[in-house]
A = this chain, B = another copy of it.
Amino acid sequence: MIVTVVGTGLIGGSMALKLREQGIAEKVIGVDKDEQHLKEAKSMGIIDEFADLNDAVMVSGLVIIAVPVNIASEMLANVLDILEPGTIVMDVGSTKEGICARVFNHINRKNYVATHPIAGTENTGPSAAFPDLFTGKVNIICDKERSSKEALDMVKKVYTALSMRIIFMDSREHDLHIAYVSHLSHISSFTLGLTVLEIEKNEKNIFDMAGSGFASTVRLAKSSPDMWAPIFDQNATNISDALGVYIEKLKLFKSVIDNHDMKKAHELIEQANDIRRILKS
């Protein structure tokens, strides 16, 4: 099968590498507005050739849209407009409600599968791609009842080839829950980075005094603005609610510390420790 990957960065590039390795993609066509990325992806063996979106879609069995979520919805509608009947298209964005709403009534909606592979690193571009990025992780398929059996079967085959566990959710539910377990942690990390950078004028102190704990907590602050600003925009309501709760709890923690209430601090930390049980289970 010919697979077109639109967006040859970390996610699209890693998928291309693994789908080729697994024999699903006999040929990979890259589409990217960044010509440098296309050349890089080709020289790294991620893609075989590059083309314009329309030309690529015409000859492909599967089109993977792996671009920032503010671009993905419009692009998906355009791709569905010109699709051959047997071609399947999927996106991989971190927000699902908006894109599913955008094409809800499209005549070719059934050829589309809305997915969100929960995998990534803080790095970007073709050079960040590696075939085992997805191994052992979870992929979420949203609103599966809107996709045809053929489309679902192909996309399941793709994610099985990526060694992912597949779960199913409503797109609205997805955006609500992902706000807490992914989007909020990105904002807490970006903001931690901003705070330390503003207050700690002496960068040598950060470098010297930052342990592995700080590095872990601030890791996501290295994530791409091109990818994340649109995610925050699309999931604004849910994220704002999550941030509201987070800020309230920080204020509580601050007042506990201001009052030197060690007993309550101990309690709060013990409650937070419960995350250990869930992440392990």
Q: Which residues of B contact A137 (CB under 8 A)?
A: 211-212
Q: Any chain B CB within 8 A of the CB of A47?
A: no
Asked if B213 and A120 sit within 8 Å, CB to CB, the answer is yes
State which of A49-57, A75-83, A101-109, A185-193 sits at the interface with chain B: A185-193
Q: With an 8 A cutoff between CB atoms, is A153 at the interface? A: no
Q: What is the distance, in angstroms, from A92's C-beta to the closest C-beta of chain B?
A: 13
Q: How far is the CA of A249 from the CA of B258 in the complex (A)?
A: 20
Residues of B within 8 A of A70 (CB): 262
> Is A180 in contact with B208, judged by CB distance below 8 angstroms?
no
Q: Are B197 and A232 in contact (CB under 8 A)?
A: no
Q: Which residues of B have CB within 8 Å of A181? A: 196, 200, 205-206, 209-211, 214
A192 and B246 form a contact (CB under 8 A):
yes
Residue of B nearest to A221 (CB): B272
Q: Hey, which chain B residues are within 8 Å of A245, CB to CB?
A: 195, 198-199
Answer whether A273 and B221 are a contact pair too, CB < 8 Å, given A250-B246, A265-B232: yes
Knowing A206-B278, A269-B225, A271-B197, the reply to whether A188 touches B188 (Cβ < 8 A) is yes
Q: Is A268 on the interface with B (CB-CB < 8 A)?
A: yes
Q: How far is the CB of A33 from chain B (nearest CB, A)?
A: 17
